[in-house]
Structure 1
Amino acid sequence: MRAAFIEETGPPDVIKIGDLPIPEPGPGQALVRIRAVALNPFDLYLRSGLVSMPMSFPYVIACDFAGVVERLGPGATCFRVGDRVWGSNQGILGRQGVASEFAAIDEEWLNPTPALLPDSDACAMAMVGITAHLGLFHRAELKEGETVYVPGGAGGVGSMVVQMAKAAGARVATSAGSPERVEVCKNLGADLVMNYKTDDLPSNLLAFAPEGIDVWFETQREPDLTTSIPLLRKRGRLVLMAGRTAAPTLPLGSFYPRDCSLLGFAVFNSSAEVQRRCTADMIRWIEEGLLKPLVGRAFPLEAAADAERLLEQNTIGKAGTLAGKVVILVD
């Protein structure tokens, strides 16, 4: 089978395209014919060696996938051959990635793909959607009628936060860095959209929520807590899910006297059972027309290194040329 893989960690140039053996599905696994995969910043950290996890070479890149069940391993009973499926959490904790024509995946990580959802969209909502759901509901316990702010509402996680918070009955503010991405956020349903390059974010947020923001879902790798924490409401929650090397200043005087909370999490710490609660809501919202994944750029498998370069430029490099997810089309 054709696959995008590495034999050592390093820059995008270490990604190779070649033939690897088709994996054999083990007990409780399904062999999935992969049709599309989506890239996440975490894929860059694994490939570069910035994050160390168990990894056997050749290591197939990418965590998020969509495809069709090709064959079932012993004891696999949750799906049938021919079922369309999607999911995340591959390529980590010793599991092989999914940028290949086939992947053997434990059934517990598979979800049924809604009939009208293209495979490119299905994989594009995987890790970012689960991340948004975990942060909003599992960690911040968002309630109907509360206010949410998420920077980068046209990005992968940000676009999911905007739509999920609206689906839950929250008032949502967000920001983006260009007129085009501002329009993307408006089309997603945000109540307030600001251009962070030209607008005064604190004054606009105070006008939007005079008593403060209930849930600030931080997506930036270098959060400015001296700005965000004073804008929280009493008992406000600030969700952190990025910024491994960040060391921001914490304004304690604005934080603890108002019973505020900092809530950090990493998606790979959550079990398959917990993630299935997230994906059940995601599937329902997709079918109800309340959730739409954003695909920014699509690449063929042969250009997997170029796909990772583009994502790297727009995360670590902050190029600002991407709205939505980077997807690799396998089939």
Structure 2
Amino acid sequence: MASTRAWILKSRPTGMPDMGNFELREREQEALGEGRVRVENRWLSVDPYMRGRMNDVKSYVPPFEVGKPLEGGAVGKVIESRSPHFKEGDTVFHMYGWRDQAVGPAEKFNKVPPLGVSDEQWLGNLGLTGATAYFGLLRVAAAKEGDTVFVSAAAGAVGSAVVQIAKAKGMTVIGSAGGEEKCAWVREIGADAAIDYKAGPVVKGLMEAAPKGIDVYFDNVGGEHLDAAFATARNNARFAICGMIDAYNGAPQSFRYMARVIAARIQLKGFIYTDYLPEMGDFYRDMGGWVASGQVKSRETIHEGLEATPQAFLDLFTGGNTGKMLVRL
């Protein structure tokens, strides 16, 4: 019988993961039961949230199991179907990533809508990352035309989408990124100012970029960036807390200016994009139009081959990506 390969979680990491926590394992090809489909994966997504699933703790999604294949967003082609809803050759997106071949019940796969965009977009601006940016900015933070928005990790997949959505909606945008090259790209996609957090304190940079303060903070980082947002928040500022990558591997948090949450009546709300699944039609309409018109652009950092998947994931925590981090099979 033919075999397939998948990355498994070999052991749970303590602090920053390393290659020893992963193992590429060969498995016999699974027989295809009634109502199931087999997909050959073409693109895999790695994302910072996956780090949390490597811990054995209760969260909004179950933890990965040691000795079992890891999971994540993927796009591929149906190569065998025992479901009337899919046929051979259909392009689908799903959550059976970290492997070369995916097998599962038909309801776990989604056909790619006919928007005429490249397949990898369904893992980026038209996928989980774009939806996270869209709902976090427009629903959670209730950002509106005229607001001044601060975005951390603005050169990353979610952050770069936030920058462009905010500009499309008539907002002033300040993005933070690491290094002049990334900052240049943040400005290229529309940010009014870019703060290089490697060049000096974020608080000082944000105060200079937004002397009248900020109305919205989209947090992907936590730590010093969250401090800066508290320090510069205007009255009734809204913070959408999407991620805190500074803390994922045990780094300490700092809340030197958190007391301002009272005087400035700051609203903070954590969220997961799946909270807004009933509104995905709005997202596809708006983001599909922006992508098709070129108003929202993407940049990808691509690693080649299934073997490269763990390293692509690890590179997320050392600033190794501009835009969306992807693995091409």
TMscore range, shorter length:
0.7 to 0.9
Residue 6 of structure 1, aligned match among 5, 8, 26: 8
Distance 1:166 1:31, change over 3 A: farther
Q: CA RMSD in A?
A: 3.2
By how many angstroms is 1:7 displaced?
5.8
Whether the 8 Å CA contact 2:152–2:225 is kept in 1: the answer is: no
Pairs within 5 Å for 1:163-242? 163-198=164-199, 201-202=202-203, 204-206=205-207, 208-242=209-243
Query: What's the counterpart of residue 29 of structure 2?
Result: 21
By how many angstroms is 1:39 displaced?
0.3
By how many angstroms is 1:60 displaced?
2.8
By how many angstroms is 1:173 displaced?
0.9
Whether the 8 Å CA contact 2:303–2:309 is kept in 1: the answer is: no
Letter in 2 for 1:60: P
CA distance in 2, matches of 1:7, 1:205: 39
Letter in 2 for 1:5: W
By how many angstroms is 1:308 displaced?
3.0
CA distance in 1, matches of 2:148, 2:109: 32
By how many angstroms is 1:253 displaced?
4.3
After superposition, the C-alpha distances for 1:270-293 in whole angstroms (9 at most, x for unaligned) are 264345543443323211212223
Whether the 8 Å CA contact 1:111–1:279 is kept in 2: the answer is: no
By how many angstroms is 1:156 displaced?
1.9
By how many angstroms is 1:166 displaced?
1.6
Query: What's the counterpart of residue 323 of structure 1?
Result: 322
Letter in 2 for 1:254: R
Q: Does 1:282 align with 2:287?
A: yes
Query: What's the counterpart of residue 15 of structure 2?
Result: none
Distance 1:120 1:235, change over 3 A: same
Task: Show structure 1 runs of 5+ residues with no match.
Answer: 91-95
Query: What's the counterpart of residue 261 of structure 2?
Result: 255
Identity of aligned residues (%): 25
Query: What's the counterpart of residue 59 of structure 1?
Result: 68
Distance 1:51 1:288, change over 3 A: farther
Whether the 8 Å CA contact 1:23–1:31 is kept in 2: the answer is: no
By how many angstroms is 1:21 displaced?
2.5
Q: Does 1:291 align with 2:291?
A: no
Whether the 8 Å CA contact 1:176–1:193 is kept in 2: the answer is: yes
Distance 1:139 1:115, change over 3 A: closer
After superposition, the C-alpha distances for 1:180-212 in whole angstroms (9 at most, x for unaligned) are 111211221111112223356445544544432
After superposition, the C-alpha distances for 1:12-59 in whole angstroms (9 at most, x for unaligned) are 3332142342474765x6543321011012223334657772656763
Whether the 8 Å CA contact 1:38–1:328 is kept in 2: the answer is: yes
Distance 1:205 1:42, change over 3 A: closer
CA distance in 2, matches of 1:327, 1:33: 16
